[in-house]
Amino acid sequence: MRLSSLLTLACAITAFILSILCLLAGNTRSFLQDTELLTLNISQLGHGSLFDTSDGDGGLLSTLGNDIQQGVNDIVNDLTVDIASLLGLPDLYNVHVLDFCQGTYSPNSTAVNAKKNITQCSNPTLGFHFQPTQYIEDHLPAGITLDDIHWPSDVVDAERTIKTVSRVMVVFYIIGIVFSGLAMITAIASIFTDGRLSAFINWLVDILAFGALGVASAVATAVIVIAVDRINKYTDEIGISASRGGRFLAMTWAATAVMLLASFVSIVQCCVGRRRPKRYEKGEY
């Protein structure tokens, strides 16, 4: 019996659970909404330098000003005015691996420790990639275009890049889940055997799970960094911003790390091999 395989079994179970949670997070309004890839905050849309109305370009905001009986400059300068809501848009989008959710901030987006109220989620799909440009354009009131809200073209370019890598990310998450599941089986088998062959098979499955989860985590990190950096370039100009999902990153890299530990233990078992009987060591054979 190889008791050290209990450690590889614990690692495989941990990686299996964490990777599944990363993949399925946010598939309902109440399931792991705080484990998002990123949050896109558009509640301050319109509060930016490009909406300076001193040159007479009131356009979009003039209409909104009439609706709430407030001056255009007052709307721009008063950060508590939720222009996104006036446009019929949500305050935020929570982006997950397989879907996105939208909601509002309570009591408002400028409040300290404002709470997210998720109101709706899209249907989870394996081919999902977040397209904020399309979602926002589809929900703008008639007569208002993306040009009116100064939506940046760089965000559209970033969407095309993220579309491809997101699919790669999903594929490797699935592969990682499959191999971490197999690693649980090989670890259980390895507990009751002590030969090098079982240890080698266990190591092979562990290293494949580690590799798949490592690629998925690296791609997820790249997606988050690219998207957040591209979006935050325009925080001061049009009022949109994005934040990284810290808990998601912690979970996905934790899953990768425990499979690395499991593969290390397995390779040590493979190198050590079967322990000799004491009578063999004493030269009785």
What are the distances in angstroms from CA 120 to CA 123, 129, 243?
A: 10, 17, 20
What are the distances in angstroms from CA 173 to CA 21, 142, 216, 255, 264?
A: 11, 40, 6, 11, 21
- Between residues 111 and 67, the one the model is more confident about: 111
Q: Are β-strands 100-106 and 115-121 bridged in parallel, bridged antiparallel, or unpaired?
A: antiparallel
The answer to whether residue 76 scores a pLDDT higher than 70 is: no
Q: List CB contacts of 126: < 8 A, sequence separation 6 or more.
A: 98, 170
The whole-angstrom separation of Cα 227 and Cα 22 is: 18
Angle among Cα 262, 268, 269 to the nearest 5 degrees reads 90
- Between residues 65 and 245, the one the model is more confident about: 245
The distance in angstroms from the start CA to the end CA of the chain is 23
Write the pLDDT tens digit of every residue in 166-176. 888 899 999 99
Averaged pLDDT of the chain: 79
Radius of gyration of the chain (CA): 26
Largest CA distance in the chain: 101
Percent of the chain with pLDDT over 70: 78
Q: Count of H helices and E strands in the chain?
A: 10, 5
Q: Return the pLDDT at 273.
A: 56
Q: List CB contacts of 77: < 8 A, sequence separation 6 or more.
A: 47
Q: Residue 83 is encoded by which pair of tokens? A: 């222009």
67 phi, psi to nearest 5 deg: -65, -35
- pLDDT winner (highest mean) among 42-46, 64-68, 104-108, 200-204: 200-204
The whole-angstrom separation of Cα 217 and Cα 166 is: 11
Q: Which position has the token pair 């591209």?
A: 230
Write the pLDDT tens digit of every residue in 7-38. 889 999 999 999 999 999 888 888 888 888 88
Domain range list for the chain = 5-276
Q: Which position has the token pair 């233990």?
A: 265
**3-state class (DSSP) for residue 159:** helix
Angular region, 180: left φ>0, alpha ψ -120 to 50, beta rest: alpha
Q: Return the pLDDT at 260.
A: 94
Q: Residue 222 is encoded by which pair of tokens? A: 């790249």
Using the 8-state DSSP alphabet, how is residue 124 labeled? P
138 phi, psi to nearest 5 deg: -65, -25
Q: Return the pLDDT at 20.
A: 93
The whole-angstrom separation of Cα 272 and Cα 91 is: 58
- pTM of the predicted protein model: 0.79
Angle among Cα 175, 177, 179 to the nearest 5 degrees reads 70
